[in-house]
Amino acid sequence: MIEWLGLHTAYSNQFSDSLLVLLVLMVPLLMGGVAAFWRPQRRWPVSFVILMALLTLGLLALFLLARQILEHGSQAWLIELGPLALHWRANGLTLLLLLLTQIVTLASAAYAPAYLKSEVGRGGAQAWLWPLQGVLTTSLSLIWLAGDLLTLYIGLELMGLAAVGLMLLPGRMEALAAGMRYLLLALVGSLAFLLGVALLLGGWGRLDLAGLAMLAEPGPVLWVSVALLSAGLLLKAAAFPLHAWLAPVHSSAWTPVSALHAALVVKGSFFIAVQLWVVLVPEAKAAAWLVGAMGGAAVLWGGVLAWRSVKLKDVVAWSTVSQLGYLLLGFSLLIGTGPTVAAVAWEGTWLQLAAHSLAKAGMFLATGNLIFSTGESHVKGLAGASRRMPLSLLSFGIASISLIGLPPSGGFTAKWLLLHAALEAGYLPWLAALALGTLLSAAYVFRVFRYSFVEDAEPLDYRRVPWSMEFFAMILALASLLLGLVAEWPLLLLRAPGGEP
Amino acid sequence: MPPFLDALLALAMVALATLALLDRQLVRACAWFVAFAVSVALTWWSVGFIWLALLELLLGALLTGAFLFHALDIRQWASAPRGRLARWRDPVPLTWQRALMRLLPALAVLIMLAIALDNLAGTPGPLLVGGMGLIGLGLWAFALHRHLLRRLLAFNVIGTGIFLILMALVGDRNTAAGHGLVVTGLLVALLGTALGALLIRRLNRLDGRRILDVAEAGRSRA
């Protein structure tokens, strides 16, 4: 299974070969800087031209990288900094995640100018939004590309600090308090990760994942280090018993930041956890079963709390906890199961990750539009909204098709694959969790709709939502739906040479 | 390096960390923390990691200390008005029962770590022993305290413990990789502390009244 990660590739240490990857990493940073310097609200012609030029450059680099991978199989680079060597690699899965990151961040960044102008006004530290988004994109890309623990550590820390910074931007009391709690928790999570890395380095004297996969032997050292690594990562990924920080963080953050966080940041830690388990303890069936049970509990508990939530943003945040549970179910089907089960679960897990990212980002943006338009943050405040805002409600609905897992969405295909894998592995409780989770997500989505279709509500004063805010919410929601219709494309990427399950 | 000096250094680190984490007066606690960072730098120097010693002095003692004092809003010692003094005291009282209960998770982690380290053969030096002590102490303090500044201090102490263990395990085999990890960790700890300190100060300004009220309530009960 480790070959699906594309780690065993001949490393090239020619600087010219790594130029494309460096471009992919640098362009988001540059774009963030440009947007902070020439703010899009004020001087949009200048920033628009420069940003478009940079964007073209970045996409071109990504396209060339994709062509290289699809033609010649996975690529790997050795970045030498004096005596230190960083291992980077890219295969089909990396490519899929890179694309996903770019799409979601771009949509969230492009949603921001209209949002800041009309909703936030002058408050908060607005100039920091785009640079921090750029840092977040770069650090996530670094995590997807990393082939050694040092790069992973750097990426994880950068991502955590950028995410905390983004949460603090509104500058209000609740945002600062939630951000402080998030900061402490992110720091503790990274300490656990570092301690685990220290034990691995002490035990086998190397940090590259391919080397560790060959050398690491089962024993107390390996188990303790994997336990520490997983504890830190699952805390950051808001896995079930460690999820309590997620909802308060979202309820006070700006909408585009919430979208970015729920769609990508928690996925970064999950990806690292999967990768480390596949590399270090591919046979730990009992432990993986435990993680899967946590996932099942997350699906149910998150669903129930989303259903009971009073605030609109809390519904969406708790639904994130529930949907991350599906990822953990997929995780447990990857470790210690037979190759056929693992192959199906592999595709199901990554498809669920992609579908949830797109759907959840779209849903958060649509929710932001609903709150903006009605001025109400409670679910009950939506009464009568169906008469005035069909487009925002439509985006919300399309995104929820994928979250519930109705055909033909990406969420449906992913859950179908996971169901298939669970059935084949004989993990029967997982089937119950999948079925109940679907019912619960239908329940919390339809609760929102029930309120918005109340006809005899007294008319509120609605604000017109700027077109760009409607547009980007709709684009992301549609993308999650389309992902189901063209599920062959992401699966094709996963099966690219050097990465096929 | 004679063994008793090693033991003395490890002991000094743990003792200074204890003072930093348990002193009820926050300004003094921060001052103890700076002394602790200097003792860590001395330890690095004594085992031959000169660069880490310099970095620890610069990042750990100087900059982190500056941010900690900034969080307490200290400019001049003498002219501080009386109202500020209340904020410099930790308002949450310590009790024995609470302290013992919060010791359990720290002990669990320490035992787990000891089992793993026992399997990685090697004679326990000052780095290993001191590191274990600092991790246990920091975890306990982190679980025990509610005050945000104390939690930042505890985080820094745990982090230092991990760096010490890391370099003890690496020895002179993979010094480059170890240095890479520790330098990244030091930078992250500094950034985290800076962000936390700025946040504490902003929170204090927004919510100063409530914190003062809690302090007053604590004093009238005592």
Q: What is the pLDDT of residues A327-337, one digit of tens each?
A: 999 999 999 88
Residues of B in contact with A155 (CB under 8 A): none
Q: For chain A, what percent of residues have pLDDT higher than 70?
A: 97
Contacts of A357 (CB under 8 A, 6+ apart): A100, A104, A263, A264, A267
| Chain B residues within 8 A of A173 when measuring between CB atoms | 203, 206-207
CA B205-A136-A17 angle, to 5 degrees, is: 150
CB B125 within 8 A of CB B9: no
For residue A339, cis peptide bond before it (omega within 30 degrees of 0): no
What pLDDT, on a 0 to 100 scale, did the predictor assign at position B116? 87
For residue B89, the model assigns a pLDDT of 65
Closest CA to A226 of A239, A246, A212: A212
Rounded Cα distance between A340 and A321, Å, is 28
The label of the residue with tokens 């073209």 reads: A56
The residue in chain A having the minimum alpha-carbon distance to the alpha carbon of residue B143 is: A188
Residue A498: band (very low, low, confident or very high) from pLDDT cuts 50, 70, 90: low
Give the residue from B162, B207, B211 with the most A CB atoms within 10 Å of its CB, the best one to mutate: B162
For the record, the structure tokens of A328 come out as: 């953990």
* Chain A residues near residue B115 by CB distance under 8 angstroms: 220, 224
Predicted complex ipTM: 0.89
- Judged against a pLDDT cut of 70, whether residue A499 lies above it is answered with no
pLDDT band (50, 70, 90) for residue A239: confident
What six digits make up the tokens of B29? Answer: 């606690």
Partners of A80 in beta bridges? A85
Question: Which of A363, A168, A326 lies closest to A249 in space, CA to CA?
Answer: A168
> Can you give the pLDDT at residue A124?
67
Contact criterion met (CB < 8 Å) for B113 and A195: yes
Dihedral angle at the C-alpha atoms of B20, B21, B24, B28, nearest 10 degrees? 20
Sign of the torsion angle spanned by Cα atoms A428, A434, A436, A439 = negative
How do residues A391-401 score in pLDDT, each as one tens digit?
A: 889 999 999 99
Higher confidence at residue A430 or residue B89?
A: A430
Q: Token digits for A393?
A: 């409600």
Are B206 and A176 a contacting pair, CB within 8 Å? yes
**Do residue A179 and residue B199 have CB atoms under 8 angstroms apart?**
yes
Flag whether pLDDT at B81 surpasses 50.
no
Instruction: Work out the pLDDT band at B211, boundaries 50, 70, 90.
Output: low
Using a CB-CB cut-off of 8 Å, the residues of chain A touching B165 are 195, 198
Residue closest to A72 by CA, chosen among A5, A4, A10:
A10
In the predicted model, is pLDDT for residue A464 greater than 60? Answer: yes
Whole-Å CA distances, A359 to A375, A477, B189: 23, 5, 35
> What is the phi/psi pair of residue B171, to 5°?
60, -135
pLDDT (average), residues B61-84: 71
Residue identified by tokens 């880490």 is B52
pLDDT in tens, B172-209: 788 888 999 999 999 999 999 999 999 988 887 776 55
Instruction: Please state the separation of Cα A25 from the chain's center in Å.
Output: 17
pLDDT tops 60 at residue B213? no
Q: CA A25 to CA A278: how far, in whole Å?
A: 26
Q: Which of A108, A422, A161 is nearest to A268 (CA)?
A: A161
Number of separate domains in chain B: 1
Cβ-Cβ contacts under 8 Å, B206 against chain A: 173, 176
> Sign of the CA dihedral A284, A497, A137, A346?
negative
SS3 content of chain A, % helix, strand, coil (to 5): 80, 5, 20
- Compute CA A159 distance to the chain's CA centroid, rounded to the nearest angstrom: 12
Q: Which two tokens mark B34?
A: 């700076």
pLDDT at residue A36, as a whole number: 84
**What does residue B63 show for φ and ψ, rounded to 5 degrees?**
-70, -50
Cβ–Cβ gap B196/A195 under 8 Å: no
What integer pLDDT is reported at residue B222 of this predicted model? 43
CA B22 to CA B16: how far, in whole Å?
10
Give yes or no for residue B210 having a pLDDT over 60: no
Neighbours of A50 (CB within 10 A): 16
Query: CB of B106 within 8 Å of any CB in chain A?
Result: no
Instruction: Identify any residues that bridge with A78 across adjacent strands, giving them in sequence order.
Output: A87
Pairing type for strands A75-81 and A84-90 reads: antiparallel
A144 has pLDDT over 70: yes
Lowest mean pLDDT among A6-20, A182-196, A206-220, B46-60: A6-20
Q: Which of the two residues, A453 and A300, has the higher pLDDT score?
A: A300
Would you call B120 and A199 a contact, using CB atoms and an 8 Å cutoff? yes
The stretch B26-55 carries a mean pLDDT of 91
Nearest Cα neighbor of B142 from A93, A188, A175 is A188
- Cβ-proximal residues to A95 (8 Å cutoff; 6+ apart), any chain: A65, A66, A69, A493, A496
For residue A117, what is the enclosing H or E element?
none
Report percent pLDDT > 90 for chain B.
Answer: 36
CB contact under 8 A, A84 and B177: yes
Read off the pLDDT of residues A285-328 as tens digits, 9 standing for 90 and up.
899 999 999 999 999 999 999 999 989 999 999 999 999 999 99
Asked if B123 has any chain A CB less than 8 Å from its own CB, the reply is no
Give me chain B's average pLDDT, please: 82
Q: Does A175 touch chain B (CB under 8 A)?
A: no
- B176 close contact with A: CB closer than 8 A: yes
Instruction: Give yes or no for residue A283 having a pLDDT over 60.
Output: yes
Where is pLDDT greater, at A441 or A125?
A441
In the predicted structure, residue B78 carries a pLDDT above the cut 60: no
Choose between B209 and A197: higher pLDDT. Answer: A197
Q: Cα separation of A325 and A329, whole Å? A: 6
Residue B63, C-beta contacts closer than 8 angstroms, at least 6 positions apart: B190, B194
What is the C-alpha end-to-end distance of chain A, expressed in Å?
Answer: 7
Mean pLDDT of A256-260: 94
State how far the Cα of A326 lies from the Cα of A404, in Å rounded to an integer.
12
**What are the residue ranges spanned by the domains of chain A?**
293-501
Contact between residue A276 and residue A291 where contact means Cβ atoms under 8 Å apart:
no
Residue range(s) defining the domain that contains residue B128: 3-221
Contact A282, A1 (CB under 8 A): yes
Chain B CB contacts of A154 under 8 Å are 184
The Cα–Cα gap between B161 and B192 comes to 17
pLDDT at A353 over 70: yes
DSSP A118: I
DSSP class of residue A383 equals T
Averaged pLDDT, B95-120: 85
Residue A497 confidence (pLDDT): 65
Q: Which residue of A has its CA nearest to B184?
A: A154
- How many CB atoms are closer than 10 A to CB B105? 13
Q: What is the pLDDT of residue A40?
A: 73
Assess B202–A contact: CB distance below 8 Å, yes or no. Answer: yes
The percentage of residues in chain A with a pLDDT greater than 90, rounded to a whole number, is 55
> Could you tell me where the beta strands, DSSP code E, fall in B33-188?
none
Residues A269, A236: Cα–Cα separation, whole Å: 6
**Signed CA dihedral, A340, A342, A346, A348: sign only:** positive
In three-state form (DSSP H/G/I as H, E/B as E, the rest C), the secondary structure along A298-342 is HHHHHHHHHHHCCEHHHHHHHHHHHHHHHHHHHHHHHCCCCHHHH
Tokens of A481: 């739906």
Residue of A nearest to B202 (CA): A176
**Range name among A118-132, A225-239, A283-297, B12-26 with the lowest pLDDT average:** A118-132
Q: How confident is the prediction for chain A on average, in pLDDT? A: 89
Residue B122 backbone zone (phi > 0: left; psi -120 to 50: alpha; other: beta): left
Backbone angles phi, psi at A405, to 5 degrees: 95, 35
List CB contacts of B97: < 8 A, sequence separation 6 or more. none
pLDDT reported for residue B82: 46
